[in-house]
Every structure is written in structure tokens, then in C-alpha cells.
Amino acid sequence: MRNQLQQLIAGTQQIIPQEDLVKKLETGRKLRIKLGMDPTAADLHLGHAVTLSKMRQFQDFGHEVIFLIGDFTARIGDPSGRSKTRPPLSEEQIAYNTKTYFNQVSKILDPERVTIRYNSEWLDRLTSREFVALCGKVTLARIIEREDFAQRIANQQTIGFHELLYPLMQGYDSVALHADVELGGTDQTFNLLMGRFLQEHYGQEPQVIMTMPLLEGLDGVAKMSKSLGNAIGLAEPADQAYGKLMSISDELMWRYYEILLHTTPEQLGDMKHAVERQEAHPMELKKRMAHQIVARFWQPQEAQEAQKRFEELFQKKDYSQATSVNCADFLGKQTWIVDILRHVGAVPSSSEARRLLEAGAVSINEQKITEFKATIVLESGMLIKVGKHRFYKVL
């Protein structure tokens, strides 16, 4: 049990309360481990992998892991860390985003030993009487204690009443599932504690909260998020993920070693000292990091191929290794640069395209494009460069 406890604690940000986790493990029974994610985007990313990896540890120790898809709560939108109300998602968007989750989760969890649940199973069935009873267990004062709500009130920003209900809905999920442990990022602490609070009010043994550190995105500033355009999706091709990993700053590299590869402080210290003494080059350490991450969350063979392609493309300037994209519909026509970037898969949104263009990070045939409204006449064989390490060849 001691070895199991040490491994489960490693890499966590906070365990609330740790003594309860010890007691639950000492019983020797199979614990019910819950991790919920709202399908607000079609792709999961490496930020999600941090928490999924901890869930895999519970799975390997023989516990029951429940991956909960928040198809009901996605209609509300998690207000965690938000300065404004999320736009509502349609049923069609939620269904589309949910479709690919299982395949992506299976990159980390053993698909034969995971239970998939949807919170619409119980939240859709709550009667008006039951819903009012649930709301009656929590005070408004407690809800607006949460930091993001308090900030929005202080800044005189609106809060939708439905947003106030989100923590109750997520907390009730733990009641419905009789969860023993719930995992989440540090930004989910309030919601996770609500589950513990509600379980007590429904006469259940309260769950243990385990929070994991948030992974910074490629910009090294905001947390990894598809909507911010700073993410590496688990569904992306391995070579594209490798290239994005190689684009991060040297300083952020240490964080990825720590969070994604569980590198110890002692090992990190040795690598940093080797760089300071010029015994190791940051580029080589970054290549090692990228290789290990791709090998872990994709496949070892894909990591080998991605590294070889990177070296040929960026170090030997062999542009025959650039990603080929069929642009037949655009050839010979004046086309908005943003449509081109979206078509080749370089950006998820117009806002991300604007950011890259204004930063001078987009070029076609070595000619920088900085105007957001620019139009381009594409020709077969043109080379599109986005950022430092993404090349696309027009076909």
C-alpha cells in the first residue's frame, strides 16, 4: 500500500484530505475514480494528458476508473477561469465533440478497463422538486466565494444565473457516481470540493480531491487550450506534435520535462547545470523531450520518424519533408490568407491566424505575410511556413 500511495501522490498539486486517501486505500477495496471533461472542443490535448496519466496509475493499481463526459454540463459551460459567459453549444456541436473522445482517451487509459459515463444520464432526469432540493443545499454566498465569480462581480461583469449552477451540476455527478476520488486541474478545485460537500449532504462518504498542475500552452503564458491556439492535440499527427514541442522556449522545456515526463528535481538540476557548463545544448535536450513525449502519448516508432523528419526538414533544410496539402480548390485564385491557414490545418481560428500574422510568423515562399486581410494566389509547389517549425507544401 505504501508504494501505491507514493506513486499516486507523486506529481499531484494537492490532495484534500490526504489522510482520507490513506484510509480509503487501507480498506483494500476497489475505489471508484472519477474524471469528468466537458466536450466543449473536439480534441483533447497534452494538458488533459497530465490528469489522464494519473488516472492510468489508478487503473494499473486495479481501481475502477470512470471517464465522465459532461454532455449535460457542456450546455452550461464551465465558468472556471472565465471573465465572461461562454457561448452556448448546440446539441449537434456537443455530439460531434463527444465522438472522438474515447479514441483519444484510449491513447492513455486501457480502453478495456475504463467505464464511460455521460452526466445527461441523471441530470436530464432530475425533477423540478429534486432540482430545487439540490439548489437548497448550497448558499449564494458560498457560490460567489469562488475567485472567478468574485472578480467578475468586482469588475461589474455579468454572470449568467446558469453559470452559478455549474458547480452544483458537477458536484452532483459525484453523488450520482458515488465517487471515492475525483481528479482535476487546479482550476477545478472549487467544483471538485462542491462534489465532496454535496456527497456529505446526501449521506455519502465524501470523495478525496486530487488536483494536478496545469500545463502551460506553447506560448508559455496561458494554460494549454485549443481555443487559445496554444495546444498540442492528442489527435494531431505525431510529426506535427513533435514540431510544436520543438517550438517552445528553452525555459518552458523544463516545465514539460517536469509535468509530462515526471522528471525529478534532481534530474532537472543536472540537465540545467550541463547546459550552463556547455556540456549539453538546449536543442538536443529539447529533441530528447519531444521524442519522449511523442513516444509516450503516440508511439515509439512515430517518435523516431518524427524526429528524423524534423532533422531533415529544419536542420538539413530538406523541404521535401514538408507536410503536403491538397489545395486544388485555391490554385490560381485570390484567397484570403486566413482561409489558407485554416485549410492546411495551421490554425484553429481567425484570432489565432491574426496573432501569427501580426507576429510575423507566417511566410509563403520565404515572403512574410503580416496583413490579416491579405489575399494570396496559390500555385502548386509553394511552401507555407507557420511559426518556426511548421512547413506545408501546396499541391
Phi, psi for residue 384 in degrees, rounded to 5: -105, 125
Annotate 238-257 with b (16+ C-beta within 10 A) or e (fewer).
Answer: bbbbbbbbbbbeeebbbbbb
Cα–Cα distance, 157 to 213 (Å, whole number): 28
Give the residue, 207 or 74, on which the prediction is more confident. Answer: 207
Beta strands at 383-386 and 362-364: parallel, antiparallel or unpaired:
antiparallel
Q: Is a pLDDT exceeding 70 seen at residue 384?
A: yes
Rounded CA separation 336/334 (Å): 7
Instruction: Name the E strands within 62-126.
Output: 64-69, 114-118
Strands 32-37 and 181-185: parallel
pLDDT band per the 50, 70, 90 thresholds, residue 293 = very high
User: Side chain identity at 88, as an amino acid letter?
Assistant: P
pLDDT tens digits along 70-124:
989 888 776 655 545 666 677 788 888 887 788 888 889 999 999 999 999 999 9
Helix axes 18-26, 2-9, angle to 10 degrees: 140
Find residue 375's DSSP bridge partners.
336
For residue 386, what are the β-bridge partners? 362, 390
* Residue 333 to residue 326: CA distance in whole angstroms: 14
Q: Is the pLDDT of residue 157 over 90?
A: no
Higher-confidence residue of 288 and 161: namely: 288
Q: Do domains 2-212 and 323-394 have the same CATH topology?
A: no
pTM here is 0.78
- Cα–Cα distance for residue pair 145/140, rounded to 1 Å: 9
Tens of pLDDT along 161-205? 888 898 999 999 999 999 999 999 998 899 999 999 999 999 999
d(CA 393, CA 77): 38
- pLDDT given at position 377: 84
- pLDDT computed for residue 170 by the predictor: 93
Look at residue 301 and give its three-state secondary structure.
Answer: helix
Least confident range from 86-95, 233-242, 280-289, 330-339: namely 86-95
The string of pLDDT tens digits covering residues 13-42 is: 999 999 999 999 999 999 999 999 888 777
pLDDT band for position 328 (50/70/90)? confident
8 Å CB contact between 321 and 309: yes
Distance CA 156, CA 139 (A): 21
Mean pLDDT of 201-212: 96
Return the C-alpha cell found at 305.
Answer: 520518424
At residue 252, the pLDDT reads: 95
Average pLDDT of span 206-225: 91
Mean pLDDT calculated for residue range 334-358: 84
pLDDT tens digits, residue range 127-136?
A: 999 999 999 9
For residue 19, the model assigns a pLDDT of 95
Which residue from 84, 33, 387 is spatially nearest to 244, judged by alpha carbons?
A: 387
Closest to 101 (Cα-Cα) out of 233, 212, 217: 233
- Residue ranges covered by each domain of the chain: 2-212, 238-318, 323-394
Compute the mean pLDDT over every residue in the chain, rounded to the nearest whole number: 87
pLDDT at 372 (0 to 100): 87
The span from the CA of 390 to the CA of 11, in Å, is 31
C-alpha cell at 106: 484510449
* Strands (DSSP E) found in 38-91: 64-69
Per the CB < 8 A criterion, the answer to whether 347 and 244 are in contact is no
**Which pairing describes strands 390-394 and 14-16: parallel, antiparallel, or unpaired?**
unpaired
The confidence band for 319, taking pLDDT boundaries of 50, 70 and 90, is low
CATH architecture of 323-394: Roll (3.10)
Residue 276: Cβ within 10 Å count = 9
CATH topology of domain 2-212: Rossmann fold (3.40.50)
